[in-house]
Amino acid sequence: MILGDIKKEWIKLPKFDILCGGFPCQPFSKAGKQNGFNDKERGNLFDVIIDILKAHKECKFIILENVRNLSDKTENWEIIQKELKQLDFFVTEKTVVLSPCQFGIPQIRERVYILGIKKGLRDPKKLTNGFIHLEELRLTNVSSALRALNNGDAWTILEPNPDKKYLLSKNDKDILDIWDEFREGTNYQSSNVPIWIDYFGHKLSDDEFNSKKFYQTKDKTNKIISELPEWKQKFVNKNRKFYLSHKEFIDKWIERYDIFNKISTHKKFDWNCGKDFKTLKDTIIQFRQSGIRAKRPTYFPALVASSK
């Protein structure tokens, strides 16, 4: 076993048949800056894997893992394919995206798996267009396992009397009650419109709403709606439309609880439970940097590493 910096210690590796591991996900994650292989600190860890494979030509199989978002950027996947093919590996034509919930484990955590097999171990004539496909891996029907979990319930495995240090603070309990009141008063049920109070345009006319610069972007500048990326314009406009449809209730609700003076993460809310649950107390709740998120108790959401 090698303990230490893999960038320095990999030369001590003995011979092996399978390389199994993952390179840092931060450069590819939606929670990060998404610099991919341009991230000089973490993005080049994939290069170390390539160096290891070049030095260990006896390696027969590759199993690598990374975040779901890696497969959403074609340029990243093409780099990985090209590098592994040059080292005489057959690889999957498309990224393999799997979650534990597809295999009977009640957690949603989609990850990309990069699979390779050394040329010479497989007859290339049996591989359609020279790639490995999901059909060959028997991964085309794994989503059917989701149906088997529909009767699952997180409450059956959680501790009934946890230590007091794990209990919610009064402030957290209060904000959940406030959002429950919001849901009841607006009949909010759709995760298609994650709520962000700052995007309501509270008490603004349409002209004021469209011209005011109060949407902060990654480069720390404020822009009017028409200057935002198209995906964000849709997000903002959905919030505006929802607000106008429930304006009378929401205006009173905002003033009653002084919502605009709450911390930023308490002004964002996302309900992923459809019509099946009546209160936040029946769901699994996450306090995230992106806001408060409610999930069905059938599946545990993955924990999020928050950066300060």
- What's the token pair of residue 74? 């074609």
Instruction: Look up 25 and say whether it is catalytic.
Output: yes
Task: Check 25, 59, 101, 273 and give the catalytic one.
Answer: 25
Q: What would the DSSP string read from start to end of 159-204?
A: -SS--GGGSPPHHHHHHHHHHHHHHHHHT---TTS-EEGGGS-TT-
The strand pairing partners of 286, in sequence order, are 293
Q: Distances in Å between the alpha carbon of 61 and those of 112, 116, 134?
A: 17, 6, 16
Describe the chain by its helix, strand, coil percentages, rounded to 5.
45, 15, 40
Q: Which long-range contacts (CB under 8 A, 24 or more apart) does 13-16 make?
A: 13/52, 13/56, 15/56, 15/58, 16/56, 16/58, 16/59
Beta pairing class for 111-118 and 96-98: antiparallel
Contact 66, 22 (CB under 8 A): yes
Q: What would the DSSP string read from start to end of 68-106?
A: GGGGG-HHHHHHHHHHHHHTTEEEBSS-EEE-GGGGT-S
Instruction: Catalogue the active-site residues.
Output: 25
